[in-house]
Structure 1
Amino acid sequence: MAELPVFKKCCFCIPLRYGLLTWGYLKLGISTAILIIFLIILSQIPLSHSKDLNIVIMIIVVILTEVVVHCGFIVGVHKKAVKIMRLYFYYALFMWSVTMMAAVVVTGLLSVSLYFTDSSLEIIIFTTTIVAFALSIAVQTFLLLALRSEIIKLRSNCPYRFVKDDNEPEGTITPVSQNIDLTSTNSTEPIQEKMAF
């Protein structure tokens, strides 16, 4: 099975960490703007429309959760906290899965609708929805891989390395110092780089 790529840069031009921070702040800004819009909508709904009120309140709770998660992600990237970043990775993986399932369901429903009504508006809606889901899944996949790469990079920044010496068949773990040649044939990569994510 092929291994997943490990990125060194975000979008091939900026450092990985800064790219993730940019993404985190962008998502936080978008989520906050959407939250404000739904709070305004909530204030305009009369109390007699309880069904609409409940739907808007559920949407606000989901978006508020998203804002809190993005704040945690930003703090984790700033502090280089691998545990927080791993939690966000699992959250992003869950959201990626939800997006994939939603894409399948919506595409199926729109296909049935397109089959029964053959209007140009339905074709435009179908095409736009497919393109939007494809772009969303592509961006989420790239960001999952970038986040995974940053976690692997932070784990491998270890002040220790494994040294296999001819005198000791089992090898030793030694601190990395300035005077040790890291490219010698007796040393291997840091232990954490060999750990699976």
Structure 2
Amino acid sequence: MYLEIPKFTRCCYCLPLRHGIITLGYLYLAYSIYIVCVNLYFEFDKELSSYDFGFLRGASFIVERWLVFLLYAVEIAFIIVLIIGAHLKKEKLLVAYYYYGITTTLAAFATFFFLTVKYAQTTHSTLFALDLSIMFSAIVSQVYLLLLIRSELRKPREALRYVNHLAEVTVQPHARENGFNPL
């Protein structure tokens, strides 16, 4: 089966590709910092070893609080790598975020899928629909960012090539009166 992955030349049909990646990177960074601040504000009086409701890339789960902060610290670090890589046009940094994004998106999707199968009968239908819509929007936005990064990485860097035609100059020998070159 053949699947053609789309190639983007612009972000949201209005921004250049690299500027769109930078904009989405800053939006993701602001969102991640906001979530960490909200968690710190509402859960300040609890211990780090207590259990908390975690939410990353659309997947919700219950883990210890220190793990939620660790996951978001890694998320913020990789978003900073993405922003620096996009600003400086460093392909290695973009590739690092690309692989990180693929693995965490697949892990979030797998977590959501397995928890949905396990708790589908016990969850209220309204809560399930809300969780499903949040997961869908998070996956779609992350996949869109990953497709933008992929398009940026696949973009030809040497679109204009200069060919020095002076190096290809050939010398034509003059013909002698008998038509033969003495050499």
Paired AA for residue 135 in structure 1: S
- Residue number in structure 2 paired with 1:158: 158
Larger Rg belongs to: 2
* Structure 1 residues not aligned, in runs of 5+: 115-121, 161-175, 181-197
Partner of 2:98: 89
| Alpha-carbon distance change, 104 to 81 in structure 1, aligned in 2, over 3 angstroms | same
Quote how far apart the aligned CAs of 1:10 are.
0.8
Percent of matched pairs sharing the same residue: 26
Matched, 1:142 2:137: no
Scaled by the length of structure 2, what TM-score is found?
0.74
Pairs aligned (count):
154
**What amino acid sits opposite 1:29 in the alignment?**
A
Question: Cα deviation per residue 1:54-89 (whole Å; 9 max; x = unaligned)?
Answer: 921221111111111111110000000000000000
- Give the 3 Å change call, closer, same or farther, for CA 50–150 of structure 1 in structure 2: closer
Quote the offset at 1:36 in angstroms.
2.1
Aligned counterparts of 1:104 and 1:57: Cα–Cα separation in 2: 24
RMSD, aligned α-carbons: 2.4
2:34 match: secondary structure: helix
Report if the CA contact (8 A) 2:9-2:17 is conserved.
yes
> Hey, what does 2:50 align to over in structure 1?
51
Between the aligned partners of 2:148 and 2:49, the Cα distance in structure 1 is 43
Q: Aligned-pair distance for 1:3? A: 2.4
What residue identity is the alignment partner of 2:50? K
Shift, 1:16, TM fit: 1.0
Residue 111 and residue 146 in structure 1: after superposition, are their counterparts in 2 closer, same or farther (change >3 A)? same
Structure 1 equivalent of residue 56 of structure 2: none
Consecutive aligned runs of 4 or more in structure 1 exceeding 6 Å deviation: none
- 1:104 alignment partner AA: F
Structure with greater helix share of residues: 1
Question: In the alignment, what sits opposite 1:169?
Answer: none
Whether the aligned pair in 1 keeps the contact of 2:82 and 2:97 (CA below 8 Å) is yes
Q: Between the two structures, name the one with larger relative contact order (CA 8 Å, sep ≥ 6).
A: 2
Match of 1:60 among 69, 72, 84: 69
CA distance in 1 between partners of 2:111 and 2:44 (Å): 29
Write the letter of the residue equivalent to 1:157.
R
2:120 counterpart SS class: helix
Q: Equivalents in 1 of 2:23, 2:118: separation in Å? A: 35
Could you tell me which runs of 5 or more consecutive residues in structure 2 were left unpaired when the two chains were aligned. Answer: 53-62, 166-183
Does the 8 Å contact 1:110/1:126 carry over to 2?
A: no
TM-score (norm 1): 0.69
CA drift of 1:14 comes to: 1.4
